[in-house]
Structure 1
Amino acid sequence: MARPPKYVHGFIDRHGKPRFYFRRPGFKKVALPGLPWSPEFMAKYHQATSTKPVTSQIGADKVVARSLRALAIAYYESPAFKALDRDSTQGVYRNIIDKLCRETDKDGQPYGDKSAVTLKSHHIEKMMDERAAKPDSANGLRKVLREMMKVAKKLGWREDDPTQGVKKLKPKKKAGFHRWTDIEIATFEKRHPVGSRARLAMALGLYTGQARQDVVLMGEQHITEEVLDWVRKKTEDKTGLELAIPVHPELRRIINATPSRHLTFLVTELGAPFTAAGFGNWFRDRCNEAGLKHCAFHGLRKAAATRLVDAGCDVVEAAAITGHASLKELQRYIETRDRRRAARRAMDKLISRTEVSNPPARFDHEAKKA
């Protein structure tokens, strides 16, 4: 089956009938008739894509002029925001902004009603200090506000950027997401046997090296002659790098053992496609069931990169699987690989060199034993 158009999700209902929906963040959900690419399907699809986002219209008549909330609406309509990955980054940015707009000061006034024109650096530093317990959250707020201020300058609301000079908070974890070890992978496999959705989810992450927003959209229709054709959602609008990932025999075995009547390999208990965030939460629970509370799905991407390098792949070969556009970024992943193995290889080389360069010592030892 040909791949459905963008933002189309489908599944087989309990009567065996295929159902398709247009589902795009910020837009109204629309049922699509017929099958993908048919005339009636595409007519409704083009109608759905031509409508304006519903999120920017909610409560627009109650927004204070030139407030943070008004700036947020303008930012959502900007080319810079629309260029972000729609299935992940846009959602993350919206959550940060909407949460800020809902928060209130000591007098009970929502931050969303405060002026975006008079916002100062010390105001931003204060908001970041309130998030000091979670540096990533504080730094995320700083990053989003910086993007919003670019829009404010273009609109002529301000001439300066109050985020300039505001320093990032030092993150608590320098290594980012924990990389799964072989022992942890075996532990998860023991808890979730072949045939379970959890095992299939892990196999997709481990043998494709892709992120959660990718694996939730993968289906058998993306595989041709045992090669998975894929474009990473995070970089789809930037590089459009096309990947051709050979299907590992173990992944094929697990796919075949996990029957599905849906367009995507992974679906919820109700048979609907996962969202990236919903899948992350679901997989988090599966990790907890296996006693791996410190593991997350993104750590499988690191593990996949590490396994490729440990198998003898160079960085370019590994990137052909993981889809890293920047080799420097991939190098960051593999720097955390299992150093115990590297140390053993180094010691084996040293032992071998010592045995060759000092034969008399070994001969004397053997002679003394005789």
Structure 2
Amino acid sequence: MAKRELPKHIYRQKNGLYFQRRGWPSLKLANEFGTPEFWMEYADILAGKEMPKRVTSRNFAALVADYRKSPRYRRLKPRTALDYDKYLEFFLSIMSDANPANMKRKDVIRLRDTNAEKIYFANYSLRVLRVLMEHCVDLGWRETNPAKGVQEFKTEKAEREPWPYELLEVYRSTCALGTRERLVMELCVGTGQRIGDVLEMRWSDIQEGGFVVKQNKTSKELWVPILPELQAALNAASRHSVFILTNERGTNRWSYRGASQAVRKVREAIGALKYDIHSWRYNAACELVEAGCGDDLVASVTGQSPAMVQHYTKKVRQKIRAIQAQQKRTEQKRNV
């Protein structure tokens, strides 16, 4: 049977007749062409009785759904994906049915400015929208990314610093050996790893007197020897789970939120709110520089790039160099 003999939007496939129309879902017909039942079914479809809802495939709901199935989303680290999901749900709550092809640069700016009082939220939502609209371009739904080039709000970001030695000792005296608060600090300072990697550490990761670490963020594999302070904390720790840091019931690893809240309570108690968990990674890098280690030795422990080693240790490095410079200056005066 030739296609021209079939009515509009009806196509014959190997397994039967299908109604196919742009913007409508594809539907297989139950009756054979030419029968009274066929014409009644066809009329019902056109009248919307067989398919009461038309499909608008190119909306933000479809875009978000497709993005979540894409390699771009699946490559995200679990914690980053959770962060992205918050903003994707926000977009769905305000423009689920809108066509992303119609979004203009002024709409992106308006969305950013609407959240101007919540600068972090405004900036992060802009980053996620930029990624989402790039995916929209990749799908061929539009030619350009309207979020690309839109500036984030500028913020006065405080420079993170390592915990002062005296304050670190106060923390140790406040949190006795055997507590999770003490153990998480010794693990972070002793291994120089990110909190996410520290929370994933298992007892089986201890091999030949060091920790075998595969960093989540960089996928770098390291072996980091255990310092005496960390060994003392490990000796005092309970071993009723495969994870070194566990939740209160000891059934699973300690969550980031749980660890962050527990450490914050200690920081509040000892007046250390200026210094957070991530600052302990700065402590590790700075202690290595103060011990005379070059960038390659620091990186062998922390797994950082040369640029990040320089960034983490720039203040202590300047202090060390300034001391050396002033000593040379004093020596020169004595010689004269």
Q: What's the TM-score, normalizing by structure 1?
A: 0.70
1:66 to 58, 62, 75: 58
Determine the structure 2 residue equivalent to 1:281: 261
Displacement after TM superposition at 1:171 (Å): 2.6
Q: Is residue 2:244 matched to residue 1:265?
A: yes
Q: Matched residues, percent identical?
A: 28
Determine the structure 1 residue equivalent to 2:67: 75
**CA 1:99 to 1:303, structure 2 compared with 1: closer, same or farther past 3 Å?**
farther
Matches of residues 165-176 of structure 1 in structure 2 within 5 Å? 165-173=149-157, 175=159
Q: Is residue 2:233 matched to residue 1:233?
A: no
Determine the structure 1 residue equivalent to 2:37: none
Determine the structure 2 residue equivalent to 1:254: 233
2:282 to 302, 306, 323: 302
Displacement after TM superposition at 1:307 (Å): 1.2
Displacement after TM superposition at 1:91 (Å): 1.7
RMSD: 2.3
Structure 2 letter corresponding to 1:171: T
Q: Is residue 2:221 matched to residue 1:242?
A: yes
**CA 1:92 to 1:288, structure 2 compared with 1: closer, same or farther past 3 Å?**
same
Determine the structure 2 residue equivalent to 1:29: none
CA deviation digits over 1:83-135, x for unaligned, max 9?
A: 1222x222222223223434xxxxxxx23443322222122222222333454
Determine the structure 1 residue equivalent to 2:165: 182
Whichever of the two has the greater Rg, that structure is 2
Structure 1 letter corresponding to 2:296: V
Determine the structure 1 residue equivalent to 2:14: none
Contact 1:85 1:234 in 2 (8 A): yes
SS of alignment partner, residue 298 of structure 2: helix
Determine the structure 2 residue equivalent to 1:336: 315
Contact 1:228 1:246 in 2 (8 A): yes
Displacement after TM superposition at 1:342 (Å): 4.7
Q: Is residue 2:309 matched to residue 1:349?
A: no
Contact 1:213 1:275 in 2 (8 A): no
**CA 1:160 to 1:235, structure 2 compared with 1: closer, same or farther past 3 Å?**
same
Cα distance in 1 between the residues matched to 2:276 and 2:328: 35
1:138 to 97, 122, 131: 122
CA deviation digits over 1:226-266, x for unaligned, max 9?
A: 12111101122xxxx21011111211111101223111111
Determine the structure 1 residue equivalent to 2:86: 95
Runs ≥4 in structure 1, deviation > 6 angstroms?
none
CA deviation digits over 1:307-363, x for unaligned, max 9?
A: 111111111111111112x311222111233755554443233223322x23xxxxx
**CA 1:164 to 1:349, structure 2 compared with 1: closer, same or farther past 3 Å?**
same
Unaligned residue ranges in structure 2 (runs of 5+): 1-52
Determine the structure 1 residue equivalent to 2:76: 84
Cα distance in 1 between the residues matched to 2:221 and 2:185: 23
**CA 1:293 to 1:222, structure 2 compared with 1: closer, same or farther past 3 Å?**
same
Which structure has more RCO (C-alpha within 8 Å, separation ≥ 6)? 1
**CA 1:182 to 1:153, structure 2 compared with 1: closer, same or farther past 3 Å?**
same
Determine the structure 2 residue equivalent to 1:105: none
